Structure 1
Amino acid sequence: MGDIPAEQRRILQSPPPELVAEAAANPGGSIAAIDYAYIGDPDGYVPAEAVRGVWRVGPDGKLTGEFEENPGYGPPKDDFARLTDSDHWLEWLGDPAAAVRGSIVDCLTSQAPGAVVEWVKILDDPRYLTGGPRSPERDDLMIVRRAGLAASFALAVTAPGRERDVLTGVFSWVAVGLDRPGERKDRVWLDLRADLDWAAAELGKRIHLVGEPEQEPGA
């Protein structure tokens, strides 16, 4: 970030029209300086690491000359804290972050061979479902037979011959037969641009479909 002071001076000496307009529209606020090399669509999701810093705007709607650098600026990284910091029972996933990331990568590379997922971030607290009967030994314990999660995400992916895409959506995973080793069945969904509330409602349906016999057409 050593070039920031020189760039700051250059911009202040001759601020681009779009920066002047943004400042005028945000009196007393700030304007983010984004490194577009780290993102895809300028109007899409912007990871925090892609923000070089912010320009401060005075109450008159003009740049004050103050540029506050973002100490976290740099290549975006994975962030699974919303998942891994949860108190919810996730032993059915093993290593939750590695399992979810690996499954997302598998979904994308199966559709675009050679694709590389650069980073994945879980954006909100995931939604969870678990189901099963009460333990015959203890009424306060459940024998978990089914489990599922829906997690909103943002990620960056590159594929041969294509520019970087930053995608958002919801990743869902359902596992059944957790009480029967050797009979477990899993299924995942990658719903691009989906809403987490919608995906959570779908999870309530999906958790009862996995492992059920496929119906004949028209049944």
Structure 2
Amino acid sequence: MGDISAERRRILKSPPAELVAEAAATPGGSVAEIDRSLIGDPNGYVPGEAVQGVWLVGQDGKLTGEFVENPNYGPPKDDFSKLTDSGHWLGWLAEQPAVAVRASIEEILNTQVAGANLEWIKILDEPRYLTGGRPDPGDPDQLIVTRAGIALSFALSVTSPGHRRETLQGVFSWVAVALDQPGGPKRQVWFDLRADLDWAEAELRERIYRVGRPRDADPM
């Protein structure tokens, strides 16, 4: 990557117009330096690891000359913590929910573009859950789960042969029904780009009752 210190000295000596403008717009704040080789659209979602550090800005809106390194700078990594650390019961989804979700999304991307490579994916918000069931005849205080669904807000990076890197955002939803049936559950997933999580949660309330009907194919 060359001599980063020398490059930053050069920037301070003759800062680019966009850096000057950003500093002027954030007096007393900071301006991030982003490694554009790690991202798709610099105006879209930027993972924290792609930020090399920040330039500190004085109250006068000018660069102070101080640069604070980002200790997490480097190739972006998956982050499923909002899913796996939620404490919500996910036994219906898979033994390893993060692995299952990643594999399903990767399959969707490859269906759309052969050879697509999912570089990383991050779950951005607390998942939205739906769970339905019926009382257990042997114990009225217990619920037998019959159907369940989840909606996950995501950002991801994908590359494909002959195409540049793209950063996508949206909501991934997964529904499973007939969880109490010996024949095994029926499943369906949705991949809604640029979708809002509130919208997806409302859709989930409808979708959870559509899966398994004769007109619904089971893509899983």
TM-score normalized by structure 1?
A: 0.95
1:20-68 deviation per Cα after TM superposition (whole angstroms, max 9, x unaligned): 1111111101000001111111110000000000000000010000000
Root-mean-square deviation (Å) = 1.3
Deviation for aligned residue 1:2: 7.6
Q: Kindly report which structure 2 residues correspond to 1:51-130, keeping only aligned pairs within 5 A, or say none.
A: 51-93=51-93, 94-130=95-131
Q: 1:4 to 1:140 in 2, by over 3 A?
A: farther
Q: Distance in 2 between matches of 1:77 and 1:167?
A: 15
Question: Which amino acid in the other structure matches residue 121 of structure 2?
Answer: V
| Corresponding residue number in structure 1 for 2:156 | 155
| Corresponding residue number in structure 1 for 2:144 | 143
1:83-127 deviation per Cα after TM superposition (whole angstroms, max 9, x unaligned): 000111101122110010000101110111100000010000100
Q: Distance in 2 between matches of 1:15 and 1:159?
A: 35
**1:26 equivalenced with 2:15 (yes/no):** no
Deviation for aligned residue 1:177: 1.1
Question: Which amino acid in the other structure matches residue 106 of structure 2?
Answer: V
Deviation for aligned residue 1:76: 0.2
Tell me, which stretches of 5 or more residues in structure 2 are unaligned?
Answer: none
Q: Distance in 1 between matches of 2:48 and 2:36?
A: 12
Question: Which amino acid in the other structure matches residue 75 of structure 1?
Answer: P
Structure 1 stretches of 4+ moved >4 Å? none
Query: Structure 1 stretch 27-36 or stretch 133-142: which is displaced more?
Result: 133-142
Q: Distance in 2 between matches of 1:181 and 1:72?
A: 47
Q: Distance in 1 between matches of 2:17 and 2:3?
A: 22
Deviation for aligned residue 1:183: 3.5
| Corresponding residue number in structure 1 for 2:214 | 213
Q: Distance in 1 between matches of 2:54 and 2:190?
A: 37
| Corresponding residue number in structure 2 for 1:184 | 185
Q: Distance in 2 between matches of 1:104 and 1:3?
A: 38
Aligned-pair identity in percent equals 68
Query: Structure 1 stretch 166-175 or stretch 2-11: which is displaced more?
Result: 2-11
